[in-house]
Amino acid sequence: MQDAGAHYPQCGFAQVGGYRCDEPVAWDWRCIFHAPKTSYQTRGARSGAEGERSEDIDTQFWGHFSELMRIMQADGTVSEYNFRGFQFPDLRFEPEWADKSVSFVRAHFWGQAVFGDVGSGSGPIMVSM
């Protein structure tokens, strides 16, 4: 999602096998997708600037994530939603995302993860941390 003509420090997320993230650094030497988030339990105990920063991180994450999803859904060459190593503040997996396979390898969910009815007919699958 970064501007191809701009030069930013790259995200420090790396994985065995040579994977490197090309997104620009947001904080803690990681991009908005790979930077650690705050759990809802911890966030509730925080106040002032630290609590606001946590909420701002979530807002930024979801803004960037929505744009990434829009791009991947429109790109016919993308066969998999790759959320490798993403750090989600929480997640509600939407049924319209079931058009491609999904990878959550090394992903971390700091809040509740809900995988809705994506065709199985068994209702939502919820994972709480």
**Token pair listed for 32:** 């908005």
The model's pLDDT over 44-97, given as tens digits with 9 standing for 90+, comes to 555 555 555 556 778 888 899 999 999 998 999 998 888 889 999 887 777 677
Is 36 part of a structural domain of the chain?
yes
Q: What is the Cα–Cα distance from 79 to 101, expressed in whole angstroms?
A: 7
Whether residue 99 is contained in a domain is answered as yes
Does residue 61 form part of some domain? yes
Any bridge partners for residue 8, and if so which? Answer: none
pLDDT for 71 equals 92
- The pLDDT tens digits for 98-108 are 778 888 888 88
pTM exceeds cut of 0.75: no
115 is in which domain, residue-wise? 14-127
Residue 15 CB: number of other CB atoms within 10 A?
12
The residue assigned the tokens 């959550």 is: 104
Query: Residue 128 and residue 23: Cα distance in Å, rounded?
Result: 28
Domain count, the chain: 1
How confident is the prediction for the chain on average, in pLDDT? Answer: 74
Which H helix or E strand runs over 103? Answer: strand 101-103
Question: What whole-number distance in Å separates Cα of residue 79 and Cα of residue 100?
Answer: 6
Amino acid type, 123: G
**Residue 113 lies inside a defined structural domain of this protein:** yes
